Amino acid sequence: MTLLYGAVGAGIIACALYMILSRNLVKMLLGFSMLATGVNILIFLAGRIQSRQPPIVGEGQHALGESADPITQALILTAIVIGFALTVMLAVLVLRAWRHSHSIDARNVDSAEALGTPQERELTDD
């Protein structure tokens, strides 16, 4: 089962890298979101999928036996929040680029190199 999850995680990451290398900004956005999902699956695999005991310290015991790793769970929750924030930030950038250049092709977006608003550039070109 672990091999299946590893193959699924690797497949998601491969699809994500293919989408990130695209010229379409929306595909890039979805690729970064898929990359975060693939990394979360692989972090989940690194921290053991199942445990044989409930995470309860029994009476008379001083330590917890074999159980799920809470550090892995905390890492995945943190990665989910960071992935969501990255997706929202990139969505804002894609929307801003589309409003400026009316294109979602990365080759047509040159707003990073341009100084000022389009009206200000028209004034300086004259």
Q: Say which CATH number the domain at 111 has.
A: 1.10.287.3510
Domain that holds residue 74: 2-50+69-125
The answer to whether position 61 is within a domain reads: no
Report phi then psi at 19, rounded to 5. Answer: -70, -35
* Per-chain mean pLDDT for the chain: 81
The answer to whether position 58 is within a domain reads: no
Report phi then psi at 105, rounded to 5. Answer: -85, 130
The answer to whether position 94 is within a domain reads: yes
The answer to whether position 59 is within a domain reads: no
Number of domains making up the chain: 1
Is residue 40's pLDDT more than 80?
yes
pLDDT digits (tens, 9 = 90+) for 63-121: 666 666 677 888 889 999 999 999 999 999 888 888 888 888 888 776 555 556 666 66
pTM, whole model, 2 decimals? 0.70
The answer to whether position 57 is within a domain reads: no
The answer to whether position 39 is within a domain reads: yes
The per-residue b/e assignment along 114-125, b for 16 or more CB within 10 angstroms, e otherwise, is: eeeeeeeeeeee
pLDDT at 11: 94
